Each structure stands twice: as structure tokens, then as C-alpha cells.
């Protein structure tokens, strides 16, 4: 069989990727899959490598977190050449959340290798974002969010910088930081917030603590936020969650784990292939871990069957 190329982001999962490098290579060798492996030195280097290898290999294996997957997918899609088919994409999750791999059923490197050996792929939808001043669409494979999605992410990053040892060896450190981030967001009145949402020819003002646009069903490290969402249905699922305090937010997370949250009055669910959000005040959004700041509007849509990804049969 032809060689695949493995692009590894060593900073994903606060160093988890590079610590798993030998194990990943051992599994590929044991499965008899020939490969070339490159380790990126920076985000810019990862983007450059993604473009360089896409015309040399039919299969790109991304090792990292959800942001890593977005970067590689974005680069290969933006370099699309009608003469060459896009490479197939395989994902190995070594980040802090790994929600995209979880949604696709790739929970272990061995599972991905079996998919490669069986040549089992499926065309995946890709979410796109357009906003003023952006020369090209940005994408998300998993989710886009506003409200707690950005506020908590920022808090976790700062917490991790101060407590590197706790984050590196103990995943409970991120859970603790996430809880403290929720408390901090409410105490500083970062949430609830409101935006104007347009969908299906209808415009409404919505108040929320968390606004999520889902291409897959998982969010925030394994929360099955919308079991009905799928990366293969040509739709984006919008969930507006309007909790009003840390206590009700923690309660909502318990409802999600029990699978009863969609019946609660605190949540509104909308499905469409196109949305717009706007506000008179600046707001931030998060795309699979990457934060985009100071927006006053953006359009969200879906590109159906845009990316060929390895998934279990």
C-alpha cells in the first residue's frame, strides 16, 4: 500500500502529542502501514506542511486536538485544485477534548489504522464562518460557540499557564479550571449575553449563557450536547442555553450527562443549513478551540460532503 503522511502537532494536549509519538509509530508499524512522519514547530509550520504534503500523499493523518484538525482541514480545503482530489483525512486525538474523534468513532489509534487498511471513508460536512474583513471562509469540523465557550476557554488557558504540572499529569486540573471559569464568567457579568439570530427566514433576539453551533454531537470534552446532530446530514444544529448562574449551569451539565437536557426550558434548539448572528456590541466566538475576537456579525453555513475522512464501517 502507499505511504500515508502523519502530521503531528507536539503542543496539542499540553505536550500529550509528542509523548505519544513512539506509541503511534509502533502501532502503524505493527499494522503494516508505511508512513512518513513530520513534527510541526509552530502553527505556521503546520499550515505550511499541510499544503506541501497534500499533493504528495493521498492520506494525511493529523495527530493533535480539535484545533489541529481544523488547521489542517482548512489549509487543504483552501488549496483545492480541480486537477487533484483532496487527500483523505485521518484523525488521532491527543488534545484536551477530542470531541471530533469521539463523534467519528475514532477512539484509538488502532481503530484508525483498521479504517485505513479497509479504505473505509465517508464524506463529512464542514461548517463555515464568514465575517467582515475576512478574505476567506474559516471552517469548523466540530463546533462554534459564543458566551461560556470563549470565556471558559480563556480562563482554562490562563489557569494552565499558572499550574502547568497539574495540567500535564492530571486531567482533573482542566475540570477544576473549567468549573472556576464558569464561576468567573458569571461573577464578571460576561454572561448571560444576547445576540440577534437569523435562520430559516426568521429573525429573533436570543439571550444565552452558551450559544453553540454543532456540526457533530459532542462538545466541551465529551458532553453529548445534541445526540441528533451529525456531520453527515447537511445541517448545522444551533443550541441556545440560557442558564443564569453557575449553579444552574452545573445543573445543566448534569442534565446533559443524563440525556434529559433537551426537554428543559433553559434550552432552545434550531436546525438549519444557514445562520447569521449580529450584535451592536462586540462579541467573540470559538471554533473548535480557536478564539476569534471583536466581531459584530458573522454568517454560519454548512458545506455538505466536503471532506473525505476515515471512519469505522
CATH number of the domain enclosing 196:
2.60.200.40
At 133 the pLDDT is 56
pLDDT digits (tens, 9 = 90+) for 23-75: 999 999 999 999 999 999 999 999 999 999 999 999 999 999 999 999 999 99
Mean pLDDT of the chain: 91
The count of structural domains within the chain is 2
Domain range enclosing 223: 140-305
Q: Among 116-130, 162-176, 274-288, where is mean pLDDT lowest?
A: 162-176
pLDDT mean over 209-232: 95
Output the 3-class SS for the chain.
CCCEEEEECCCHHHCHHHHCHHHHHHHHHHCCCCEEEEECCCHHHHHHHHHHHCCCCCEEEEEECHHHHHHHHHHHHHCCECCECCCEEEEEECCCCCHHHHHHCCCCHHHHHHHHHHCCEEEEEEEEEECCCCCCCEEECCEEEEEHHHHHHHHHHHHHHHCHHHHHHCCHHHHHHHHHHHHHHHHCCCCCEEEEEEECCEEEEEEECEEEEECCCEECCCEECCCCCCCCCCCEEEEEECCCCHHHHHHHHHHHHHCCHHHCCCEEEEEECEEEEEEEEEEEEEECCEEEEEEEEEEEEEEEEEEEEECCC
Task: Dig out the grid coordinates for 67 from the structure.
Answer: 484545533
Residues 18 and 107 in one domain: yes
200 lies in the same domain as 100: no
Same domain, 101 and 146: no
Residues 62 and 149 in one domain: no
The pLDDT of residue 18 is: 85
- Which carries the bigger pLDDT value, residue 245 or residue 170? 245
Q: Residue 63 domain-assigned?
A: yes
Q: What pLDDT, on the 0 to 100 scale, is given for residue 162? A: 76
What pLDDT score does 12 carry? 79
Residue 128 pLDDT > 90, yes or no?
yes
- Domain presence at residue 35: yes
* pLDDT surpassing 70 at residue 135: no
Q: Do 147 and 78 share a domain, yes or no?
A: no
pLDDT over 70 (residue 164):
no
Amino acid at each position: 500500500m502507499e505511504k500515508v503522511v502523519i502530521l503531528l502537532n507536539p503542543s496539542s494536549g499540553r505536550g500529550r502529542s509528542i509523548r505519544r509519538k513512539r506509541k503511534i509509530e509502533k502501532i502503524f508499524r505493527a499494522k503494516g502501514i508505511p508512513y512518513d512522519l513530520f513534527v510541526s514547530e509552530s502553527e505556521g509550520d503546520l499550515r505550511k506542511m499541510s499544503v506541501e504534503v497534500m499533493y504528495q500523499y493521498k492520506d494525511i493523518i493529523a495527530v493533535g486536538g480539535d484545533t489541529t484538525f481544523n488547521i489542517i482541514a482548512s489549509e487543504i480545503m483552501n488549496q483545492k485544485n480541480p486537477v487533484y482530489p483532496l487527500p483523505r483525512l485521518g484523525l488521532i486525538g491527543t488534545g484536551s477534548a477530542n470531541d471530533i474523534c469521539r463523534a467519528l468513532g475514532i477512539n484509538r489509534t488502532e481503530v484508525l489504522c483498521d479504517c485505513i487498511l479497509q479504505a473505509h471513508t465517508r464524506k463529512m460536512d464542514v461548517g463555515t464562518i464568514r465575517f467582515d474583513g475576512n478574505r476567506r471562509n474559516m471552517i469548523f469540523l466540530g463546533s462554534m460557540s459564543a458566551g461560556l465557550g470563549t470565556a471558559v476557554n480563556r480562563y482554562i488557558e490562563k489557569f494552565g499557564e499558572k499550574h502547568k504540572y497539574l495540567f500535564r499529569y492530571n486531567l482533573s486540573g482542566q475540570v477544576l479550571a473549567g468549573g472556576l471559569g464558569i464561576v468567573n464568567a458569571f461573577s464578571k457579568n460576561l454572561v448571560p449575553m444576547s445576540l440577534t439570530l437569523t435562520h430559516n427566514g426568521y429573525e429573533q433576539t436570543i439571550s444565552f449563557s452558551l450559544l453553540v453551533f454543532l456540526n457533530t454531537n459532542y462538545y466541551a470534552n465529551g458532553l453529548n450536547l445534541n445526540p441528533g446532530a451529525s456531520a453527515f446530514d447537511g445541517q448545522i444544529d444551533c443550541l441556545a442555553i440560557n442558564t443564569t448562574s453557575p449553579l444552574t449551569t452545573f445543573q445543566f451539565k448534569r442534565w446533559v450527562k443524563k440525556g434529559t437536557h433537551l426537554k428543559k426550558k433553559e434550552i432552545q434548539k434550531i436546525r438549519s443549513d444557514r445562520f447569521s448572528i449580529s450584535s451592536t456590541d462586540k462579541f467573540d466566538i470559538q471554533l473548535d478551540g480557536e478564539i476569534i475576537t471583536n466581531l459584530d456579525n458573522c454568517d454560519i453555513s454548512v458545506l455538505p460532503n466536503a471532506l473525505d475522512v476515515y471512519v469505522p464501517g
